[in-house]
Amino acid sequence: MQKRSLKSMLRQLAVLLLAVSPLAAQSWDSLQSLKPGDRIRVLEIDGTRHDGTFAAVTNGSISLHTEQSEESIERSRIRRVQLRSGARRARNIAIGAAIGLAVGVTVDQTLGAYLRNESDESSGARAITYVAPIGIFGAIAGAFPAYRTVYRQ
């Protein structure tokens, strides 16, 4: 009886995943909300990435200004269009720093305790040499711009 219910649950999960997967795709019409000058990233099916500013969209293509020139990419070649979002950068920096500090403290209290079993290093010195740098790296990682997907094939 257990095996049958497990198979049934797996089958239901598979059906649910198949039903939800079309929801991941966004309509081409959602690109109409972009404004000229918006920073976007276009990912092609073959893996090519184009970064630039949005110029225009038609039923069959999207145009953007890159550093070299203006490019027009056919809709059939596009896997994903993403809009650069800087609105949450401060939040991402704070989250990155908090995660970095938590990892630093955890490493200091676990592996660090094992490695310093005979040294007389003060907690302040450990904070400066172990915890703070990891927190800083976490904050730096959070400073990178985030992208929100506007269109997905």
96 in the same domain as 81: no
- Give me the domain span that covers residue 98: 89-144
Residues 34 and 81 placed together within one structural domain of the fold: yes
18 within domain boundaries: no
Could you give the CA distance from residue 53 to residue 149 in angstroms, rounded to a whole number?
A: 15
3-class DSSP state for residue 68? coil
Using the predicted structure, report yes or no on whether residue 123 has a pLDDT greater than 90. no
Domain assignment present for residue 111? The answer is yes
Q: Would residue 37 be called left, alpha or beta, if left means φ above 0 and alpha means ψ between -120 and 50 degrees?
A: left
**Residue 58 belongs to some domain of the structure:** yes
* Residue 14 within a domain: no
Mean pLDDT of 18-32: 67
Domain count, the chain: 2
What is the per-residue pLDDT for 23? Answer: 47
Task: Give the whole-angstrom CA distance, residue 124 versus residue 131.
Answer: 10
- On whether residue 5 sits in a domain, the answer given is no
Global pTM exceeds 0.75: no
User: Above 70 in pLDDT, residue 50?
Assistant: yes
Give CA–CA dist 153/121, Å, rounded.
56
Shared-domain flag, residues 47 and 77: yes
Higher pLDDT, 42 or 134: 42
- Answer yes or no: do 70 and 111 share one domain: no
Q: Indicate if the pLDDT at residue 64 is higher than 50.
A: yes
81 with 94, same domain?
Answer: no
Does one domain contain both 61 and 33?
A: yes
Weakest-pLDDT range from 6-10, 20-24, 96-100 = 20-24
User: Per the domain annotation, does 57 fall within a domain?
Assistant: yes
Looking at residue 32, which CATH number applies to its domain?
Answer: 2.30.30.520
Mean pLDDT for the chain overall: 80
Q: Is residue 109 part of a domain?
A: yes
In a domain, 81, yes or no: yes
